[in-house]
Structure 1
Amino acid sequence: MWFVQQFLLVFVFFLIFFKYLKLRWKARSLPPGPSPFPLIGNLWTMRFNLHPETFNKLTKHYGNMYTVWLGETPLIVLHGYKAVKNALVSHSEEMSGRPVTNLMADVSHGKGIVVSNGHSWRQQRRFGLMTLRNLGLGKRGLESRIQEEAQNLLEILAAQNGEPMDVSEFITHAVANVISAAVFGHRFSIDDPTFQKLVAINQELIEGLGSKWGILYDAFPWLMKRLPGPHQKIFKNQEFMYNFIRNEIRIHQQNESLEEPDDLIDHYLAQIAKTSGDPDSTFDTPNLLQVVVDLFTAGTESTAISLQWAILLMLAYPDIQENIHKEIDQVLQDSSAITYEDRKRLPYTNAVIHEIQRFGNIAAAGVIRRSVKDISLDGFSIKKDINILPNIDSVLHDPMYWETPYKFNPKHFLDKDGNFKPNEAFLPFSAGHRVCLGEQLARFELVIFVITLMRAFRFRLPKGVTEVNTNYVFKLTLQPYPYKVCIIQR
C-alpha cells in the first residue's frame, strides 16, 4: 500500500512537471506574459474571469500584446487602439475565426453567425446583412418600428407620475420588441408571460456565458461538459429559446407568407426552400434557430444596457442633461417622431450619445477571435488556430486618443466650434470582418430612443439620494449598478 501511494505521488508530480514543460514549450513563440501554472494556467491569477482591470494591470508589465493561459489554452490579448486596429483591420480576414471548443460554441453547436466559422459563417452573415437591409434598415421600415417602441416606452414611463422607479425592465422589453419585429414580424405585449420569460432567459444566458463557470468551461471543456453545476443551466436556457423559436417557425409556415416575406424567419424559410438542392448551402433549421438567437440576444442586451447607462449618466451630470434640453428645444420645435437623421442637427446630443457608448462601454474586453491563417503581429509569428482577444475596453479608454479616458466627457466628440467630431478609436462594435452585425440597428435605436426620451422628460434623483454610482457591474457585459430615477414630464 505504501509503495502504491508513493508511486502515485511520484506519478502526479511528474505529470504536473510534464504539463508545465509542455506549457513552456508552447509559449516559446508566443508574446510574453505571466508564468502559467500547470493545468490551470493563469486562471487563478485572473480570478477566473476576463476582467478589464486585470488586463490593465497586465499591460503595465507586459506591454500592449501579451499571452495569458486559460488552462492549457493560450490567449493573446491585444491592448489599445493601435494593437487592436493592426489585428482587426490590417489582418481582418486572418482574424475572422471563432474558438471552436468553448462554451459559446458548444451552446450554439457551431451554428448561426456569432460563433460559426468558414463557409457556414460567411453564408449566414451575408444573409443576415442582406435581410436586415431588405427589412428596411437605414430606410423607413425598422425606423418606424423603433419610433413606435420609443413612443410606447414614453407612455409607460409617463404613467409612473414621477415616482422613483427602476427603468431597466421597461427599457429591455422595449428594445426586445424592436428586434422581435425584425425576426418574428410582430411585437409582444409587455404583460405577455411567455415574452417576459424569454427576455429573462436571454439575460440569464448572457450572464451565464460571462460567469466564472463559463470561464472554467472555456478552459476545460472536456471536463466541464460532464460535470454538474450552474453552467448546465445555460444549455437548458438555450433549449427554451429554441423551443420558443420553433413555435414561431410553425406559425410562419402555417401562414404561408413566404412569397411576401415580412421578417427574418420568412426570409430564411424562403432561402431554405430556394437552396434545397444546393450541396454547398448551409441554410437549414438548426442554423435558422441559432441566427434568431444571435440576433435577439445581441440586439436586446447591448442597446438596452446602453440606454440604462444613458439615463444614469443624465442623473450624474445634470448640466449635460440641461444642455441637451436646450439644444433639442432650439432645433426640434415640432412634435413629429424623431428620426435618425435628426442627429445631424443636434451635434451636442449626438456627441453625448457617442460618449455614453464610450464611457458606458458594455463589451468588456470583447469577444475572442481565432486566427484562421498564420500571421505576423508586432514582430511575433502567430500560428493558425490561436485564440486572440482584442480588448475593446482598452481601445475606448486609450489615453492616446481620449483626453479624459475615465471621465464622462462629450467634448471627446466635439471640435472647438461645437460641431460633431468623429474619433477613429471609437470602436464599440469592434471592427473587421467580425464587426457587430447589428451595428446600424443599434445606432438607430440609441439616437431615436435617447432623443425621444430627452425631449419628453427630465431625469431626477429620488428624494434623499445625493450620489450616483457610475461604476460598472462586471458580467459578460459591463452594466450599471441598479438604480432608481424620478422621470418628470417637461
Structure 2
Amino acid sequence: MFPASKQAIGMDLPAGMTLLLTLGVSGLILYLSIRTSWIWRHLPPGPTPLPLLGNIMEIGRSDVANSLKKFSDKYGEVFTIYLGSRPVVVVTGYKQVKEVYLDKADDFLGRGDLPAWNNFYKSQGVIFTDVLEWWRELRGFSISSLRDLGFGKSGTEDGIQEEAHCLVEELKKTKESFIDPQLCLRKAVCNINLSTMFGNRHEYEDKDLVVVLSCIQNTFAAANSSWVQEKANPNSVFTRSHLLSSALQIFFAGVETTSTTLYYSLLILLKYPDICAKFQKEIDHVIGPNRCSTIKDKSSMPYTEALIHEIHRFIDLLPLGVPRKTVREVTLKGYKIPQGINILPLLSSVLKDPTCFKYPAEFNPENFLNEKGEFQKNGAYMPFAAGKRNCLGEPMARMMLFLFLTTIFQNFDLKSSVPFEELDITPLVSGFGNLPRNYKCAFITR
C-alpha cells in the first residue's frame, strides 16, 4: 500500500554482498583504466580521461574547437583526448596538419569514426567509408561522373549564371522589405545541384523544392534507380547502397555547406560596409552593371578573390575537419601512433594560425593580398581540407560563391535591419560545423 522506505530498499542486499559488488565494480573500472593506459601508452600526452567517459565532460558542446585549442595550449600541437574509451589524436597548427594531409598523406587515408554518420551510412559512400579499397574505387567513379555531368566546365557556369539571375528576380519580389534570406539562398544552391545532377530545377514557389531540402535521401532513391550495375557481384563496391550513399553525401554536402557559406557571407558584408563598398567598386569596374559575371573575371578582381578566400577562412565552416584514421603505424612529431587510431586535424587551428596570417582572429581580406594589392595564395588556406581525401566539390563551391556574390552585389545594396555595429558574426553553434546567427536584411536595387 505504501512505497518501501529508503532503508528497506538499501537492505535488499546483505551488507557483505553490497561491499563485494562495490569492490568488483571499482576493480573493473581500475582494470579498464590501467589496460587502456598500457595499450595506448605511446600516444601523445593529453588530459587525464575519466573511466568509461574519457574527456567528454571537459569538452564544451557549444564550442568544441575552442575547447580543443585550450588543450593544445597546454599539451602541444599534437595531443590525445578520449571520447569514451576511444583515443583520438588531435593535430593542430598548419605545419602538423599539413603533415597529415600532404606530407604523410598515405598514412592517414583512413576515415575516422563518426558514430552518428556511421549508424546511418554503415561505412558506405565515398565520404564516410573507412575501407580504403572502397574509397579509391568510389572516389575515382565519383570524380569521373561529376566531370561527365559538367562540374567545373562552362556548362556548369552557364547554369549558375542562370540560377543567379533567377535569384536576383526572386529577391526583387521582396520589394526592399527586410527578410531572412536563408531559405531563398538554399533554394538557389539546391537548384544548381538538382539541375546539374538530375537535369531539372524547381521554381522558388514550388513546395517540392522545400521537400527536397529536407528529404534529400528520398529524392536520390527515386532518381538513381539506374545505378544498380553490378548487383550480382557481392564483392563489387558499385552496389545500389554504395552509389546512393555517395550521391546523397555529395549532394547533401554541396547544398548545406555552400548555402551556409553564402548566407554567412551576406552577414559579414552587412557587418563591414567599407569592405562591401570595395567589393562593389571592383564589380563595377570589371563587370559593370549589365553583363553577367564569369569565372574569367576572377583574374582581374584580386580584391574579390581575396574576399572570398577570407570568407572561407574566417567562417571556418568545419572547424574540426573530418576525422582520419591511421592505416599503418606512423611517427608524428616524435610520437609513434599505431594503426587504426582516430586522427582529428583541427582545421580551425590552421585557418586561424598566427604564423600564417597577418590578421588571424579578424575578418580582413588583406590576409590574401600583398603590398601591391595583388591576390596572394596561402598554403594554410584549407577550408576544404587538402590532399587525396579533400572535398570533391571544392571547385564547384568556389565557382558558385564567386558567381552568386558578384551577381547579388552587382544588382543590390544590402541594408541591415539593425545598425551594423550590433550585428554578431560569431557562430551561433560551433561544434562539428560553425552555423551563423539568423539575421534580416533588405535588398535595395542599385
Q: Tell me the TM-score normalized by structure 1.
A: 0.84
Q: What is the match of residue 38 of structure 1?
A: 51
Q: What is the match of residue 102 of structure 1?
A: 115
Q: Is the 8 A contact 1:158 1:487 kept in 2?
A: yes
Q: Is 2:22 aligned against 1:47? A: no
- Counterpart amino acid of residue 438 in structure 2: P
In structure 2, C-alpha distance between the alignment counterparts of 1:92 and 1:417, rounded to whole Å: 35
Following superposition of structure 1 onto structure 2, how do residues 306-455 of structure 1 map, counting pairs within 5 Å? 306-333=261-288, 335-455=290-410
- Counterpart amino acid of residue 121 in structure 1: W
| TM-superposition CA deviations, 1:398-420 (whole Å, max 9, x none) | 00001110101101111111111
Q: What is the match of residue 445 of structure 2?
A: 489
Q: Is the 8 A contact 1:325 1:454 kept in 2?
A: yes
Following superposition of structure 1 onto structure 2, how do residues 158-197 of structure 1 map, counting pairs within 5 Å? 158-197=172-211
Q: Is 2:310 aligned against 1:296? A: no
Q: Is 2:442 aligned against 1:468? A: no
- Counterpart amino acid of residue 477 in structure 1: G
- Secondary structure of the residue that 1:66 maps to in structure 2? strand
Check 1:50–1:21 CA distance in 2 against 1; reply closer, same or farther (3 A cut).
Answer: farther
Give 1:277 shift.
7.2
In structure 2, C-alpha distance between the alignment counterparts of 1:92 and 1:465, rounded to whole Å: 43
Range with bigger deviation, 355-364 or 132-141: 132-141
Q: Is the 8 A contact 2:194 2:200 kept in 1?
A: yes
RMSD over aligned Cα atoms: 1.8
From the CA coordinates, give the structure whose radius of gyration is larger. Answer: 2
In structure 1, C-alpha distance between the alignment counterparts of 2:294 and 2:235, rounded to whole Å: 41
Q: Note the residue ranges of structure 2 that are not aligned, 5 or more in a row.
A: 1-13
In structure 2, C-alpha distance between the alignment counterparts of 1:316 and 1:390, rounded to whole Å: 30
In structure 2, C-alpha distance between the alignment counterparts of 1:123 and 1:420, rounded to whole Å: 37
- Counterpart amino acid of residue 104 in structure 1: W
Q: Is 2:90 aligned against 1:77? A: yes
Check 1:356–1:100 CA distance in 2 against 1; reply closer, same or farther (3 A cut).
Answer: closer
In structure 1, C-alpha distance between the alignment counterparts of 2:89 and 2:418, rounded to whole Å: 48
Q: Is the 8 A contact 1:154 1:453 kept in 2?
A: yes
| TM-superposition CA deviations, 1:277-319 (whole Å, max 9, x none) | 7675311211121012101111011111111121111111100
| TM-superposition CA deviations, 1:94-115 (whole Å, max 9, x none) | 1111135722122101111111
Runs of 4+ in 1 over 4 A off after TM superposition: 275-280, 463-466
Q: Is the 8 A contact 1:366 1:390 kept in 2?
A: yes
Q: Is 2:112 aligned against 1:156? A: no
Q: Is the 8 A contact 2:271 2:420 kept in 1?
A: no
Q: Is the 8 A contact 1:31 1:380 kept in 2?
A: yes
In structure 1, C-alpha distance between the alignment counterparts of 2:63 and 2:126, rounded to whole Å: 23
Q: Is the 8 A contact 2:306 2:368 kept in 1?
A: yes
Q: Is the 8 A contact 1:68 1:74 kept in 2?
A: yes
Following superposition of structure 1 onto structure 2, how do residues 233-248 of structure 1 map, counting pairs within 5 Å? 241-248=216-223
Q: What is the match of residue 88 of structure 1?
A: 101
| TM-superposition CA deviations, 1:104-138 (whole Å, max 9, x none) | 12210111111112111111111111111122222
In structure 2, C-alpha distance between the alignment counterparts of 1:311 and 1:101, rounded to whole Å: 31
In structure 1, C-alpha distance between the alignment counterparts of 2:273 and 2:420, rounded to whole Å: 14
In structure 2, C-alpha distance between the alignment counterparts of 1:31 and 1:301, rounded to whole Å: 35
Give 1:326 shift.
1.1
Give 1:276 shift.
6.3
Check 1:71–1:358 CA distance in 2 against 1; reply closer, same or farther (3 A cut).
Answer: same
In structure 2, C-alpha distance between the alignment counterparts of 1:64 and 1:118, rounded to whole Å: 27
Which of 96, 120, 123 is residue 134 of structure 2 equivalent to? 120
Q: What is the match of residue 198 of structure 1?
A: 212
- Secondary structure of the residue that 1:52 maps to in structure 2? helix
Q: Is the 8 A contact 1:100 1:110 kept in 2?
A: no
Q: Is 2:432 aligned against 1:459? A: no
Q: What is the match of residue 67 of structure 1?
A: 80
- Counterpart amino acid of residue 359 in structure 1: F
Range with bigger deviation, 178-187 or 398-407: 178-187
Range with bigger deviation, 389-398 or 132-141: 132-141
Q: Is the 8 A contact 2:113 2:323 kept in 1?
A: no
Q: Tell me the TM-score normalized by structure 2.
A: 0.92
Check 1:189–1:4 CA distance in 2 against 1; reply closer, same or farther (3 A cut).
Answer: farther
- Secondary structure of the residue that 1:57 maps to in structure 2? helix
Q: Is the 8 A contact 1:23 1:36 kept in 2?
A: no
- Counterpart amino acid of residue 7 in structure 1: L
In structure 2, C-alpha distance between the alignment counterparts of 1:243 and 1:141, rounded to whole Å: 27
- Counterpart amino acid of residue 362 in structure 2: K
In structure 2, C-alpha distance between the alignment counterparts of 1:334 and 1:49, rounded to whole Å: 43
Q: Is the 8 A contact 2:347 2:382 kept in 1?
A: yes
Q: Is the 8 A contact 2:125 2:243 kept in 1?
A: yes
In structure 2, C-alpha distance between the alignment counterparts of 1:49 and 1:109, rounded to whole Å: 27
- Counterpart amino acid of residue 114 in structure 1: I
- Secondary structure of the residue that 1:294 maps to in structure 2? helix
Check 1:109–1:49 CA distance in 2 against 1; reply closer, same or farther (3 A cut).
Answer: farther
Q: Note the residue ranges of structure 1 that are not aligned, 5 or more in a row.
A: 202-240, 254-268
Identical aligned residues as a percent: 33
- Counterpart amino acid of residue 296 in structure 1: F
In structure 2, C-alpha distance between the alignment counterparts of 1:417 and 1:382, rounded to whole Å: 45
Q: Is the 8 A contact 1:183 1:292 kept in 2?
A: no
- Secondary structure of the residue that 2:224 maps to in structure 1? helix
Check 1:404–1:295 CA distance in 2 against 1; reply closer, same or farther (3 A cut).
Answer: same
In structure 2, C-alpha distance between the alignment counterparts of 1:400 and 1:126, rounded to whole Å: 35
- Secondary structure of the residue that 2:322 maps to in structure 1? coil
Which of 24, 29, 33 is residue 42 of structure 2 equivalent to? 29
Q: How many residues align?
A: 431
Q: Is 2:21 aligned against 1:13? A: no
Give 1:193 shift.
3.0
- Secondary structure of the residue that 1:152 maps to in structure 2? helix
Give 1:50 shift.
7.0
Check 1:286–1:394 CA distance in 2 against 1; reply closer, same or farther (3 A cut).
Answer: same
In structure 2, C-alpha distance between the alignment counterparts of 1:68 and 1:190, rounded to whole Å: 46
- Counterpart amino acid of residue 187 in structure 1: R
Q: What is the match of residue 284 of structure 1?
A: 239
In structure 2, C-alpha distance between the alignment counterparts of 1:340 and 1:42, rounded to whole Å: 47
Check 1:475–1:180 CA distance in 2 against 1; reply closer, same or farther (3 A cut).
Answer: farther
